[in-house]
Amino acid sequence: MSVAAIVFDMDGVLIDTEPIWEEVRTAYIEELGGRMLPDTQERFMGMSTAEWSEYISRDLIDGSRTPEQVATDVIDRMSARYAEHLPLMPDAAETVRRFAARYTLGLASSSPRRLIDVVLAHMGVTDLFHTTVSTEEVERGKPAPDGYLAAAAGLGVDPHDCVAIEDSSNGLRSAAAAGMTVIAVPHPRYPPAPDALALAAHVVTDGLPSLTPELIDSLPRRTA
């Protein structure tokens, strides 16, 4: 296929922060006397800041903190954890640089802008991305296509000419709904649902080092 751009997800693809998000939000909810529901973590993955803070406030802690307070509390805790240790995925920075040498790069992440900027700066790859989008900057988080559509618009390319690299069910659904060809990089702790995984043109089973320009160019183009 002819590829105009690569659009990365961040959490779970470039940095192994999904377990940290789970630990921080679970501890926060429990401290406030709330309760995690069986599908809470799955629902969190892909939600924008506005969506997950509203969900916590309304459904998990009975309104004891406003959504705005929840967002500030949790992001502050995440920032503190990032300051202690930033767990990059193996070969993450190298993969970004490998693709930047050949393709235009974008990023569409459910993380707040504050954390996106910290991660990319730590990796030393900020300048390699032509556009970055946080779903807090669009109307709807993943699985809606808004973040990926905004990334394509920021890059000035047709979404059908983009390849997205995603790990989560809602991320895969989001990129596919935007019309992008999708590569799945499943996280072993949070495997995507079968229906979401079926949307991927390729599933990576041996980590980011196996992602090459040759693989990208061999993918069938998504047309619908």
- Six token digits for residue 25: 């939000």
What confidence tens digit (pLDDT) does each residue in 166-219 have?
999 999 999 999 999 999 999 888 899 999 999 999 999 888 999 999 999 999
Q: Convert the pLDDT of each residue in 148-175 to its tens digit.
A: 999 999 999 999 999 999 999 999 999 9
Whole-number pLDDT of residue 222: 66
Backbone angles phi, psi at 207, to 5 degrees: 90, 175
Q: Is the pLDDT of residue 89 over 70?
A: yes
Q: Which is more confidently placed, 1 or 119?
A: 119
C-alpha span between 208 and 224 (Å, rounded):
26
**Known active-site residue 9:** yes
> For the chain, how many residues are written?
224
Distance CA 111, CA 9 (A): 10
Burial (CB count <10 Å: 0-12, 13-18, 19+), residue 75:
middle
In order, the DSSP letters of the chain are ----EEEE--BTTTB--HHHHHHHHHHHHHHTT----TTHHHHHTT--HHHHHHHIIIIISTTSS-HHHHHHHHHHHHHHHHHH---BPTTHHHHHHHHHTTSEEEEEESS-HHHHHHHHHHHT-GGG-SEEEEGGGSS--TTSSHHHHHHHHHHTS-GGGEEEEE-SHHHHHHHHHTT-EEEE--BTTBPPPHHHHTT-SEE-SS-GGG--HHHHHHSPPP--
Q: Which pLDDT score is estimated for 58?
A: 96
Please compute the mean of the pLDDT values over residues 58-68 and round it to a whole number. Answer: 96
Residue 109 CB partners (closer than 8 Å, separation 6+)? 9, 10, 11, 116, 132, 133, 134, 135, 147
Global confidence as pTM: 0.88
Q: Does the pLDDT of residue 221 top 90, yes or no? A: no
**pLDDT confidence band for 46 (50 / 70 / 90):** confident
Compute the mean pLDDT over every residue in the chain, rounded to the nearest whole number: 94
Say if residues 95 and 34 touch (Cβ distance below 8 Å): no
β-bridge pairing 202-203 and 181-184:
parallel
Q: Is residue 117 predicted with pLDDT exceeding 80?
A: yes
Instruction: Report the range of poorest mean pLDDT among 25-34, 40-49, 136-145.
Output: 40-49
